[in-house]
Copies of this chain bind each other. A is one copy, B any other.
């Protein structure tokens, strides 16, 4: 009694939609979602049993059932939306773990890492493409595709390894958020320039983006100690979850409207709730949602990985070189930007900034659409983006335990003169 057989037999021969609100289409979509979730979890299981990061397994699972491998699932509208809600929830949970005070403490190294982590890859990518004979606008776009960090991939690894509360963890998150804002502004400028449409719109983007993050941060500062009742006064809110979920989704949408990524708004929502008395309860309640919906982000990202360019040795070589450039420049940015945090910690920051993930995929797809990237170049840059995405978690798995050990050695767990109780160390 196999599923495909059933799929082809009685339901179809009746030519009837299953007579509840589920049309035949809805059931087909549910099958796709089921396969994506199952593939992500089987992939995670296999990779973790091999001692590798679960997130790479989720990407691999999505790739395997996706259109560029077995072709069992082609992510459609619903899978893409669930993927987006998944990464929104992920970044919300990251913000939920961080106090604004702690972000301000790492402000300098995070800012420096982010700025260098945008400048270096753009310079290297542009130089590489110019040397390869590409026109300047195209070369700039190749550089740009290497600039944006996928905060989603790294956040997941940091969460899995339980190091979000480490100093280097905070630097990575702070730097990745700043990097995202910078990269999105640059992408807006380059795309605007490519379409001959610059000036006021670009200014609006810059003001909107910086204004949104600034106002969000200021609200988080003022949210400190807000009572749980701020969220639970409605009768429908037995717990703060539904109002907080609406806040998260609302800020994610607002953030997209001002030209930023939706995840930036979700992160800001997390920062705000983190300061309130509802933090503990929300942390507990958001987990089941995250564990079901977030895997769609990784599975769908995996399903979008087109590795066709790897079949041509020359293109494959170009992609590998570009990926190495992409990783090396981010590592360099981390080593310089976070040099005060210790050798391994600075390395962890650099590697943490390396995955380009879905942001890189969207940038290269945009470049193809704008006519700035030829199909060959598109494939090369795309595979380079994929390689950074898969390599980064594998490298973090090695680097982060060392960075954590280094930090433990530098700062004894129980500081003398600290007001903390021994149990909280």
Question: In the bound complex, what is the Cα–Cα distance between A31 and B82 (angstroms)?
Answer: 13
* Residue of B whose beta carbon sits closest to that of A40: B236
Given A27-B257, A257-B11, A262-B30, A236:B45 Cβ within 8 A? yes
Chain B residues lying within 8 Å of A361, measured Cβ to Cβ, are 21
Whether, in the assembled complex, A371 has its beta carbon less than 8 Å from a beta carbon of chain B, the answer is no
CA distance A354 to B76 in the complex (A): 37
Complexed CA–CA distance, A22 and B83 (Å): 9
Cβ-defined contact, B14 with A192, below 8 A: yes
Q: Could you tell me the distance in whole angstroms from the C-beta of A318 to the nearest C-beta in chain B?
A: 23
Mask: chain A, 219-247; 1 = CB below 8 Å from B; 0 = not: 00000000000000011101101100110
Residue A306 lies at the interface, judged by CB distance under 8 Å to chain B:
no
Interface stretch among A164-172, A281-289, A397-405? A281-289
A239 CB contacts on chain B under 8 angstroms: 291
Asked if A253 CB lies within 8 Å of chain B CBs, one says: yes
Check A41–B362 contact: CB distance below 8 A: no
Of A93-101, A183-191, A386-394, the one contacting chain B is A183-191
- Chain B residues with Cβ under 8 A from A363's Cβ? 19
Among A13, A76, A286, the most chain B Cβ lie within 10 Å of the Cβ of A13
Indicate if A9 sits at the interface (CB-CB under 8 A).
yes
The answer to whether A256 touches B18 (Cβ under 8 A) is yes
A348 vs B94: C-alpha distance in the bound complex, in angstroms?
47
Interface residues of A in 22-66 (CB under 8 A from B): 22-23, 25-27, 29-31, 33-34, 37-38, 41, 44-45, 48-49, 54
Residue contact A234 to B41, C-beta cutoff 8 Å: yes
Which residues of the other chain, B, contact A29 by a CB distance below 8 angstroms?
77, 81
Complexed CA–CA distance, A192 and B13 (Å)? 10
- Chain B CB count within 10 A is highest, among A26, A195, A250, A366, for A26
CB distance from A301 to the nearest CB of B (A): 7
Q: A14-B201, A256-B11 are in contact. Are A84 and B22 (CB under 8 A)?
A: yes
Contacts of A25 in B (CB 8 A): 77
**Are A236 and B44 closer than 8 Å at their CB atoms?**
yes
Interface of A, secondary structure class, is helix
With an 8 Å Cβ cutoff, the count of chain A residues facing the other chain is: 95
A31 with B289, Cβ < 8 A, contacts A84-B22, A84-B26 known = no
In the complex, what residues of B have CB within 8 A of residue A252's CB? 30
CB distance from A319 to the nearest CB of B (A): 21
Instruction: Decide if A83 touches B44 in the complex (CB within 8 Å).
Output: no
Is A419 among interface residues, defined by CB-CB distance under 8 A? no
Give the distance in Å from the alpha carbon of A286 to the alpha carbon of B289 in the complex: 9
Q: With an 8 A cutoff between CB atoms, is A271 at the interface? A: no
Nearest residue (CB) in B for A257 is B6
Contact assessment for B250 and A34 in the assembled complex, using a CB-CB cutoff below 8 Å: yes
- Which chain B residue has the least Cβ–Cβ distance from A8? B257
Known: A30-B253, A83-B21. Is A14-B191 also a contact (CB below 8 A)?
Answer: yes
- Which residues of A are in contact with B by a Cβ distance under 8 Å? 3, 6-7, 9-11, 13-23, 25-27, 29-31, 33-34, 37-38, 41, 44-45, 48-49, 54, 76-78, 80-85, 87, 148, 183-184, 187-188, 191-192, 195, 197, 201-202, 204-205, 208, 234-236, 238-239, 241-242, 245-246, 249-250, 252-254, 256-263, 285-289, 291-292, 297, 300-301, 358-359, 361-363, 366
A-B contact pairs, 25 of them (CB 8 A): A3-B254, A6-B258, A10-B205, A10-B258, A14-B197, A14-B205, A17-B366, A18-B261, A18-B262, A19-B362, A19-B366, A22-B256, A22-B262, A26-B81, A27-B256, A30-B252, A30-B256, A34-B250, A37-B245, A41-B234, A41-B242, A54-B236, A238-B291, A241-B291, A242-B291
